Structure 1
Amino acid sequence: MNNKDRKITHRYGIMGGTFDPIHLGHLFVAETALYNLNLDKVIFIPTGNPPHKNSKDITIAHHRLIMTAVAINSNPKFELSNIEVMRRGQSYTADTIKQLLMQYGENIELYFITGTDAFMEMSTWKDCAYLFRTMKTVVATRLGYDDESFNEKVHFFNKKYNASIINMSIPILEISSSDIRERIRQKLSIKYLVTEGVEKYIKKHHLYVKNINESL
């Protein structure tokens, strides 16, 4: 079915990532997309075995899934999916999009929410032409990003793939999962960087106290 012939019944945001751990920055970006783009919900999909990262450097999926569930529990428009961690082999976004369309039907419109760094590398992703054909790409940009390089990439994707790309400006939130892990190793507070439930889960299971490989 041609995309133009589809009758759109629902608009779903897709928020992927290792979420190691999930933090308030992730939630803020998802909330911004939810309301700015009038989405019905945002689906959080923790990665299983991502092709661009060493799986040995990532906390086991069980913990990341539970932390994500805990973090989004209070928002009825946030939903957790385990489709990538349940998939054998590497986790490719194209496979995930295909699975979501099979699950929900082709009358949904998918909005893939990502950051500028990942967006700039999307031409290296598996089946990127399929991705741009079947979903809208929402890029969360912060003040001070390289708008010239970004606009050049948008023009390239538009011309080559007829991509639908949305620039979603958000305030600068200096929060990253790697910084949170480092703060825990240094025995510093992570309060107000993650939700209270995630903070308690991390403490209960002694996550990130050492390097990931040593703490499993």
Structure 2
Amino acid sequence: MIILYGGSFDPIHIGHMIVAHEVYQSFRPDRFILMPARQNPLKVKRTVATNQERLDMLKLAAAVLEFGEVSDMEINRTGDSYTYDTVLELSRYDEDIAVIIGTDQYVQLNRWHRIDELKKLCRFIVVNRETEENQVTAPDMSFHIPRIDISATEIRRRLTEGATVKFWLHPEIEAFVRKEQIYEKEKSH
């Protein structure tokens, strides 16, 4: 089994890491892949951190988690990052693929690129986000964790203003972000 956990990860925060840990411990997949999206087609805003900075933060997170591999597959593609293309590529290695998403994404799957074909290639592990319960239909799976509503947007705002993000970011990732001043200064991509 391959579990894919993708997203902007701008930055990867404690909420992301708890989801990764809990899903990994529950499923024990052969491969757990952390993959930053080049550009989410459903988001207008571009990432603040560079692609390399997001990869570096994910590598730090994987080391702390003590599992997982970081993939640059989507970052190396041009254009929007479509989960369909990624899962199609991964299906060459394993037919049992699950993609972690939040409730907020699950309710808008109808907007996803080639969703009907994607559903034939994988199933979704739907983590309760901004809700206590998920309404999920098989073969997709509802996955419940205690709610921790941490926002990457709020983390970036706090860092820009010099405020604390203690307990929002793992200390190693916070040290990296502060050393590189990723969010304290304007970035041009």
Q: Please give the TM-score of this superposition, normalised by the length of structure 1.
A: 0.80
Does the CA contact (< 8 Å) of 2:130 and 2:149 recur in 1?
no
Q: How many residues matched?
A: 188
Q: Is the 8 A contact 2:91 2:121 kept in 1?
A: no
Structure 2: which amino acid aligns with 1:193? W
Q: Which residue of 1 is the match for residue 114 of structure 2? A: 127
Structure 2 Cα separation of the partners of residues 129 and 23 of structure 1: 31
- Helix, strand or coil at the partner of 2:74: helix
Q: Aligned AA for 1:64?
A: R
Q: Which residue of 1 aligns with 2:183?
A: 208
Q: Which amino acid aligns with 1:120?
A: V
Kept after mapping to 1: 8 A contact 2:104/2:130: no
For residues 53-202 of structure 1, the aligned pairs below 5 Å read: 53-54=43-44, 56-102=46-92, 104=93, 106=94, 108-141=95-128, 144-145=131-132, 147=133, 150-151=134-135, 154=136, 158=137, 164-202=139-177
Q: Which amino acid aligns with 2:29?
A: L
The share of aligned pairs that are identical, in percent, is 29
Unaligned 5+ residue runs, structure 1?
A: 1-10
Structure-2 change in CA distance of 1:36 and 1:143 (3 Å):
farther
- Tell me if structure 2 keeps the 8 A contact 1:110–1:136: yes
Structure 2 residue aligned with 1:4: none
Q: Does 1:35 align with 2:7?
A: no
Tell me, yes or no, if the aligned pair for 1:33 and 1:39 is still in contact at 8 Å. Answer: no
Question: Aligned AA for 1:101?
Answer: S
Runs of 4+ with >3 A deviation: 55-58, 142-145
TM-score calculated relative to the size of structure 2: 0.91
Q: Secondary structure at the match of 2:80?
A: coil
The separation in 1 between residues aligned to 2:179 and 2:68, in whole angstroms, is: 24
Q: Are the equivalent residues in 2 in contact too, given 1:24–1:194 (CA < 8 A)?
A: yes
Q: Tell me by how many angstroms 1:57 deviates.
A: 4.6
Deviations 1:82-106 (A, max 9, x none): 000000111100000011122x2x4
Q: SS where residue 34 of structure 2 aligns? A: strand
Greater helix fraction, Structure 1 or Structure 2: 1
Which consecutive residues of structure 2, in runs of 5 or more, have no partner in the other structure?
none
Q: Which residue identity does 1:141 align to in structure 2? A: N
Contact 1:142 1:169 in 2 (8 A): no
Instruction: State the Cα distance separating 1:41 from its structure 2 match.
Output: 3.5
RMSD: 1.9
Task: Measure the CA separation in 1 of the matches of 2:71 and 2:173.
Answer: 18
Q: Determine if contact 1:43/1:78 at 8 Å carries over to the other structure.
A: yes
